[in-house]
Amino acid sequence: MAVPTYAKAQDERPARFSDDILTTALERNDRLEGIVQGLESDLLAVQRAHRAELARAKVLSDQLNDSRRQANGWQAQLVDTREAMADLKNAVTLRQHTIDDLMHHLSTNPVTNESLLQHYHAQEQIIQSLKGVLSCPLCYETFGRRQVVTLACGHTLCQTCLEQWVVRSSTVDPDRIVPECPECRREAPKSERVKVYMLEEAVRVIERLERFEFMPPGYTLPPSSLPPSQA
């Protein structure tokens, strides 16, 4: 039996309604998914921007710390510079006081050729006395740059002179085993000889004195006008 057209239309209406609802729901779902995707994209962009800002903030923080360290270093250098300037100022002040004292001394005690000569002759006498003390008792020469040896008895000689003395004494007295001091004749074994380097340095100081290294540059002593008794 054929179904009436009206009845058929009524049967198809719920199906079309369901399709419309489903289509609407799908479209809405698609729109929501698009919105969600857009929000997720925006969130990722915000996160990237946030990470970039954090990195930039870290760079700025490191730069700030470096600037602070540099500032502290500059401040310490400034303090050191101020202290150095204060020390220099004090040194200049002390030097000026020394100069003032010397100028006052020169104004009250003028230096003359006679006073310089007296000082020179006194210095020369001291040098000659020192040279006498620092001379070898065998060759009567100043020790100079030769090695100096002190024996157990306390006498000091040039090593060369001592060796020559030992050779001569062994020739004269072949039975003698231990050499003796040429001054006091006490035994002077080789194991008890001591090299004295301080005397060599003292001799070099005397040599510098004799070359007038301690006199003002370009200064030449005038001929002595004082008798030796007044020197």
Confidence category of residue 229, pLDDT binned at 50, 70, 90: very low
Q: For the chain, what are the domain ranges?
A: 19-106, 113-212
Q: What is the pLDDT of residue 188?
A: 76
Summarize pLDDT for 99-109 with one digit per residue, the tens: 888 888 878 87
pLDDT band at 176 (very low <50, low <70, confident <90, very high): low
pLDDT value of residue 224: 44
Does residue 217 have a pLDDT over 50? no
Please indicate whether residue 112 or residue 93 has the higher confidence score (pLDDT).
93
**Per-residue pLDDT tens for 110-139?**
767 777 777 777 777 777 777 777 778 888
Least reliable range by pLDDT among 36-40, 43-47, 111-115: 111-115
Return the pLDDT at 230.
Answer: 41
CATH 3.30.40.10 fits 113-212, yes or no: yes
Quote the pLDDT of residue 226.
Answer: 41
Residue 151: predicted pLDDT: 84
CA distance 130 to 117: 20
As a whole number, mean pLDDT of residues 34-39 equals 86
pLDDT at position 129: 76
Task: Tell me the percentage of the chain whose pLDDT exceeds 90.
Answer: 0
Q: Among 153, 161, 159, which residue's Cα sits nearest to residue 187?
A: 153
Contact 230, 158 (CB under 8 A): no
Confidence of residue 177 (pLDDT cuts 50, 70, 90): low
Q: Residue 143 pLDDT more than 60? A: yes
Burial 63-86 (b: 16+ CB within 10 A, else e): eeeeeeeeeeeeeeeeeeeeeeee
Phi, psi dihedral angles at 94 (to 5 degrees): -65, -40
CA 190 to chain centre: 44
Burial 88-105 (b: 16+ CB within 10 A, else e): eeeeeeeeeeeeeeeeee
Of 85-89, 130-134, 201-205, 218-222, the least confident: 218-222
pLDDT tops 70 at residue 14? no
